[in-house]
Chains A and B, each alone.
Chain A
Amino acid sequence: DAGVTQSPTHLIKTRGQQVTLRCSPKSGHDTVSWYQQALGQGPQFIFQYYEEEERQRGNFPDRFSGHQFPNYSSELNVNALLLGDSALYLCASSLMDRHEQYFGPGTRLTVT
């Protein structure tokens, strides 16, 4: 049973560019959440998707957007990249009515 997978593993972008990160949830899970983890910090919640809709959103600007597909996989898009967007981006999947979230290995984004 495959766990949560994310792609790519690493990514280097230039300020002002746009990036798309991808996530496939654990088999059987219907909810995907995205987190940003800056170096040496705890993860910060970006947003959560369920039934292809954004259900919750953290304190992130509109430059951060997402999508969930009918197969429950998800994308995180970040526009107009800033140096401060450099971080590990974590995807977590869960069942909507359950508390446990299971994390993928993350995508390390570096903005230069």
Chain B
Amino acid sequence: GNSVTQMEGPVTLSEEAFLTINCTYTATGYPSLFWYVQYPGEGLQLLLKATKADDKGSNKGFEATYRKETTSFHLEKGSVQVSDSAVYFCALSQGAQKLVFGQGTRLTINP
């Protein structure tokens, strides 16, 4: 079945550092890929998405590119802020069906 694997956390960085959170997936066909963010005590917010190979999703300085050849969708940000501290989830869906999530990566940014 479909699955998503994220780099293990937690990840701790200093403010203005470069961020990469790795995500790889297993799926048949061409799933849609997503990054969701969960702030403490809250539900999930859609951060960005990509629906076909080589698409780049971007939002709030975060970017991720759909790489079919490596089945990856790594999340990057050039300069993180303390307010980016949260748990980040990579997810996929096929045909507007259920979302399959990775285990999440907790990110802490120190000032």
Could you say which of B12-20, B71-79, B91-99 contacts chain A?
B91-99
Q: Given that A42-B89, A43-B44 are contacting pairs, would A98 and B97 also be in contact in the complex, using a CB cutoff of 8 Å?
A: no
Asked if B101 and A42 sit within 8 Å, CB to CB, the answer is: yes
Asked if A48 and B98 sit within 8 Å, CB to CB, the answer is: yes
> Which residues from B are CB-within-8-Å of A66?
none
Say if the beta carbon of A101 comes within 8 Å of chain B: yes
> Which residues from A are CB-within-8-Å of B99?
33, 35, 43, 45, 92, 101
**B33 to A, closest residue via Cβ:** A99
Asked if A45 and B98 sit within 8 Å, CB to CB, the answer is: yes
Asked if A105 and B43 sit within 8 Å, CB to CB, the answer is: yes
> Which residues from A are CB-within-8-Å of B89?
42-43
> Which residues from B are CB-within-8-Å of A6?
43
Q: A97-B96, A103-B45 are in contact. List 13 more A-B contacts (CB 8 A).
A: A42-B89, A42-B91, A43-B44, A43-B101, A45-B99, A48-B97, A56-B98, A58-B98, A92-B99, A96-B96, A98-B96, A99-B96, A103-B46
- The list of the 10 closest CB pairs from A to B, nearest first, reads A42-B101, A45-B98, A103-B43, A103-B44, A99-B32, A105-B43, A106-B43, A42-B103, A42-B104, A43-B101
> 14 A-B Cβ contacts within 8 A?
A33-B98, A42-B102, A42-B103, A42-B104, A43-B89, A45-B98, A48-B98, A56-B98, A92-B44, A99-B49, A99-B51, A101-B93, A102-B46, A104-B43
